[in-house]
Amino acid sequence: MVKINTLAASQELEQVSPETLNHELTFLSGKYAGTCYAAEGYETIRTQPVEKAMKRAANTAVSGHHSVFQHSMVTMEVQCPKIIAMLLNSIGVSNTSEKSARYTKMRPETEREGELYEKWHTILAEQIREVYGERFTDRERDKLAYENARYMLSVFCPTSMVYSLPFRNIFYVLDWAGKMRRNLLEQKGGFNERLASELQHLLEALSAVVGKQENFHDNKNESFRFMPVQATGQLDDDNQEYYGDVYTAKFYASFAQVAQEQRHRTLRVKINFSGKEPGEYGYYVPEILQEETLRKQWLEDISSVGEQYPQGMLVSVTEQGLFEDFVMKCKERMCGRAQLEIMRITEGLVERFVQNSQNLSQANQKRLASITENDKPCARCGYTDFTCAEGCKWGLKEALCRKI
């Protein structure tokens, strides 16, 4: 027999003071902590005095058993630079609904970026028409052109998102952001200096959410694993590639691709980027720019805003996880509607798994067969266990051959 009693649910708030929010969620967490010792279940805890639950919460915070503070979620609207959004999105327990840089027009940070954003939107739209004729409507062409032109925009350009964190993790993020900022103050480079400044803004804004109170701290000395150089000062790029039931993949990708990559929360993604010199790994060039003159012009233009750290700047990426979770990633990214760069990188990883299929269990070899055709990568609409509900311009035969 299974019985479920609903205890709490998220509600939209009109006005609540940070101090009240902190008190209420601490109170609830103290109640939840009592479950571990309640002989008759939660009903005996529901009517306990407030003081008893608050005392239990305080004792639990000191003892380090912080999971009870994770039941309550705090949902916030966050307006911040894109790189701060990427840091926040790197936390596996968070939930995000972010302004799309693919489907909406972004606001450039500087006049020069704005000029290049519009210039390349025009060029890319013309290239799409030249290569694909009237296959796309004007509106579709416009969006695809802006999607690719945004590689010119700084990774510090403004974005916004609705963002949810467990109550516990707000305090952990405060710890990690403070730790990263202190470390960045000892590092050189324009990127690191700018990130340190933005982290100070994050600390102030996030601290205000919980009434500038420090209920407890991360007791395991963790940090933002997503950016180890900036978080710890240590290069963490010597992982050995391996493709099997668990895997480690290494590749170069743009900031824009990484922002897509890290949304697969079952996988671990980290980047190595010193932040000292712009363009240390080069820049991404959209595939639709096939003419050498256009490619050269693109690289000249994006290099000219290198000091702004454009989203098309390449970084060294390490992706790790379980093969079955990689298959789930393929069911999103091996698609004609996906960002081309991430689809192409995912396609390359499928090929590496095929080359190393002997490392996979029988169950995972079957999974690999379900996402390939004759040992070749296949678009998700050809998977044996996937039904596409969206549809696209390309279909099974052309999804992996597109240039935009």
SS (H, E, C) 343-364: HHHHHHHHHHHHHCHHHCCHHH
pLDDT of residue 38: 76
Q: Report the candidate in 2, 54, 1 with the shortest Cα–Cα distance to residue 23.
A: 54
| pTM flag (> 0.85) | yes
Does 28 have pLDDT greater than 90? yes
Side-chain half-sphere exposure of 11, counting CA atoms within 13 A:
7
pLDDT of residue 92: 83
Q: Report the candidate in 110, 138, 124, 139 with the shortest Cα–Cα distance to residue 306.
A: 110
How many of the other CB atoms lie within 10 Å of CB of 164? 16
- What is the greatest pairwise CA distance in the chain? 75
Q: What is the distance between the alpha carbons of residues 3 and 16, in angstroms, rounded to a whole number?
A: 33
Mean pLDDT of the residues in the chain:
93
Cα angle 269, 70, 229; round to 5: 30
CA distances from 238 to 245, 268, 272 (A): 20, 15, 10
Lowest mean pLDDT among 3-12, 25-34, 338-347: 3-12
Rg over alpha carbons for the chain, rounded to the nearest Å, is 24
- Given a contact cutoff of 8 angstroms between Cβ atoms, the answer to whether 255 and 306 are in contact is no
Cα 209 from chain centre: 22
- Given a contact cutoff of 8 angstroms between Cβ atoms, the answer to whether 340 and 402 are in contact is yes
Provide the H-helix boundaries in 305-339. Answer: 323-333
Backbone angles phi and psi of 343, in degrees to 5: -65, -40
**Position 8 confidence tier, pLDDT thresholds 50, 70, 90:** confident
Q: What is the distance between the alpha carbons of residues 373 and 122, in angstroms, rounded to a whole number?
A: 38
Tokens of 88: 């926040």
- Given a contact cutoff of 8 angstroms between Cβ atoms, the answer to whether 228 and 272 are in contact is yes
pLDDT digits (tens, 9 = 90+) for 369-388: 999 999 999 999 999 898 88
3-state secondary structure 288-299: CCCCHHHHHHHH
Backbone angles phi and psi of 71, in degrees to 5: -65, -40
How many of the other CB atoms lie within 10 Å of CB of 389? 5
Identify how many contiguous H helices and E strands the chain contains and give both numbers. 15, 9
**Position 234 confidence tier, pLDDT thresholds 50, 70, 90:** confident
Provide the edge-to-edge strand list for the sheet that holds 242-243. 242-243, 246-254, 314-322, 268-272
